[in-house]
Structure 1
Amino acid sequence: MKLPRISGEEAIKALVKAGWSVERQRGSHVVLYKEGTGIVVVPLHRELDRGTLRAIIKQSGMTVKEFAELL
């Protein structure tokens, strides 16, 4: 499945819907935490690079399809 072009903010909103919570922010990077899964760091860029987005999705333990449904 092709990855959508989204911003860091949109990625964070989708992760929050999936049960992640914003732990902290340092500069332009937001750290999200989920019990039993770990942490994911999302940069607050206007548009995330496809490789960066794919890495975020992989770290979250979701598939691209599952993530896209949350957008």
Structure 2
Amino acid sequence: MNRHQFIKHLENHDCKLHRHGSKHDIYINTINKLGISTVPRHVQINPNTARKICKDLLIPVFP
């Protein structure tokens, strides 16, 4: 899955970039402030990784 499309999915569900790490970006769910997860900076993201990130951020799974 393409990282750019996945980031758009996160932003559409009110998740914002919290800060940049060395190899990952940290996103936080702005609605409930409970969901926080790291997103790798690879061009392609493994579907299982994307599912876990969505679960951590408490948003619907990316199709």
Structure 2 length as normaliser, TM-score? 0.75
1:54 is the counterpart of 2:41: no
Amino acid at match of 1:9: H
Counterpart among 5, 9, 17 of residue 4 in structure 2: 9
CA drift at 1:31: 0.5
Give unpaired runs (5+ residues) of structure 2.
none
Structure of greater Rg: 1
Deviations 1:3-47 (A, max 9, x none): xxx223321221011101111111231111124232121101111
Which structure has more relative contact order (CA 8 Å, sep 6+)? It is 1
- Per the alignment, in what secondary structure is the counterpart of residue 21 of structure 1? strand
Q: Which position in structure 1 is the counterpart of 2:15?
A: 20
Give unpaired runs (5+ residues) of structure 1.
1-5
Q: Which has the higher helix share?
A: 1
CA distance in structure 2 between the aligned counterparts of 1:51 and 1:62, rounded to whole angstroms:
15
- Per the alignment, in what secondary structure is the counterpart of residue 39 of structure 2? strand
Structure 1 length as normaliser, TM-score? 0.68
CA distance in structure 1 between the aligned counterparts of 2:14 and 2:49, rounded to whole angstroms:
20
Percent of pairs with identical residues: 26
